[in-house]
Amino acid sequence: MQGMARMLSNNKLRQFARLGQRGAYGQSMLLIAESNEDLFCLSADLGNSSGLDRFSSKYGSRYLNLGIAEQHLVGFSAGLSRIGFNCFISSFAPFITMRCAEQIRMNLSYMQDNVKLVGLGSGVSMGYLGNSHFGLEDIGMIANHNNIPIFCPSDTTQLYCILKFLVELKGPAYVRLTGTADTSELIYDTEIDISLGGSSTLLTGESLLILTHGAITHDCLCAIRGLEETRQSRYHLEDVYCIHPIGSKVRRLLKQFKKILIVEEHRKQGGLYSLVSDLVSDMGISVDLRSLALPNGFLCSGDYSSIKANYGLDIYGIGKALKDAVA
């Protein structure tokens, strides 16, 4: 049986927000599984870290922990999808995108098998666990493959909507989860429509186009709201939840604005900045394209907020970049 997953109640919506994206992933799958019998969740021994504990007890026959073996996880899930199962597989962002990169290339990209990769704790949200667990290059890893769309939800409501969309989308995709439970903020208090190549406009303005994705979208929103009221109207804030492929709406915006700032919790190389750079070059347009991103090299550890602050990706740092960009 396939059907539309149910709408989030107000209570659920707020409960998901408290859990943060990782916990909300598993809870979302629990709801979506009610109306999708073929939905199958797999993990490489990080089921609990994916919030899948309740899913695995309720839908034991549709959950597998394949052990700490990401290469096997990807190949196995691709095979399982061939029998009609709708596979979602999760592990920390570097492990699900790099340890098994060639399995992704053969099975998901080349054969286009119906498996969704879910990267947990991407960006610097793993805090003190450090560089081994940070997702600094995962967007670049996946964007380098042919035909694997990349979704980066900015909050837990959008995450739920993206997952509902992906259950219906045949073929592979990567979902990049960022943020932590204790810093989780709600941007959307109602469900939104999701599309391939889609984005959501959060603020409109004429001087600077800000393209962002993931949990720091909320920091961008706060940074703009923290500016003097007369300045606020200069900024257009676009939540690019599908960063690959980039859709027609963002393409239109790129033509409208002369100055663009890309704010992302990822290295500049391989991230949205790189994807947009390639695109504006292909489009033959000349824009002042700026980046506020994580620097190259390996990064310091700390709690999530302090790492973001260290690299200018907190509200203060983003606010400063916004002012610098629009004198």
Partner 1 sequence: MNESEVKELQDAALSVRKLILDMAYTKKGGHHIGGGLSIVEIMCYLYGRFLNLCPEDVESHGRDRFILSKGHGVLGYFPVLYYYGYISRKVLESYKTPNGVLIAHPVKDTSLGIESSNGSLGQGLSYGAGIAYGLLQRENTARVIVLVGDGECNEGSIWEGIMSATSLGLRNLYLIVDNNSMQSDGTTKAIIDQGNLDERIASFGWDVQVVNGHSYNELERAMNVQTTKPKAIIANTIKGKGISFMEGNNSYHHASLTSNIHTQAMEDLIARYG
Q: Given the rule CB under 8 A, which residues bind partner 1?
A: 61, 64, 66-67, 69, 71-72, 74-85, 102-103, 105-107, 110-111
Q: Which is nearer to partner 1, 88 or 188 (CB)?
A: 88
Q: Helix 315-325 and helix 216-225: axis angle, to 10°?
A: 60
SS3 (DSSP) at 41: strand
Q: Which is nearer to partner 1, 65 or 207 (CB)?
A: 65
Q: What is the DSSP string of 192-215?
A: ----TT--EEEE--SSEEEEE-ST
Cβ 163 to partner 1 shortest distance, Å: 21
Cβ 60 to partner 1 shortest distance, Å: 12
User: With the C-alpha atoms ordered 81, 163, 214, 177, is the resulting torsion angle positive or negative?
Assistant: negative
* 209: nearest Cα among 290, 298, 269: 290
Cβ 324 to partner 1 shortest distance, Å: 46
Q: Which is nearer to partner 1, 21 or 107 (CB)?
A: 107
Q: Which is nearer to partner 1, 102 or 182 (CB)?
A: 102
Residue 248: CB partners within 8 Å, gap ≥ 6? 197
Distance CA 73, CA 133 (A): 18
Q: Which is nearer to partner 1, 81 or 156 (CB)?
A: 81
Write out the two tokens for 71.
Answer: 């290469």
Distance CA 271, CA 33 (A): 32
Q: Which is nearer to partner 1, 72 or 234 (CB)?
A: 72
Q: Which is nearer to partner 1, 39 or 276 (CB)?
A: 39
Distance CA 294, CA 311 (A): 6
Q: Quickly count: other Cβ atoms within 10 Å of residue 290's Cβ.
A: 16
Write out the two tokens for 315.
Answer: 């509200």
Cβ 113 to partner 1 shortest distance, Å: 9
Distance CA 299, CA 274 (A): 20
Cβ 100 to partner 1 shortest distance, Å: 9
Cβ 58 to partner 1 shortest distance, Å: 17
Cβ 62 to partner 1 shortest distance, Å: 9
Q: Do residues 311 and 299 touch, judged by C-beta distance below 8 A?
A: yes
Amino acid at 190: T
Q: Which is nearer to partner 1, 70 or 239 (CB)?
A: 70
Cβ 254 to partner 1 shortest distance, Å: 36
Side-chain-side CA neighbours of residue 106 (13 Å): 11
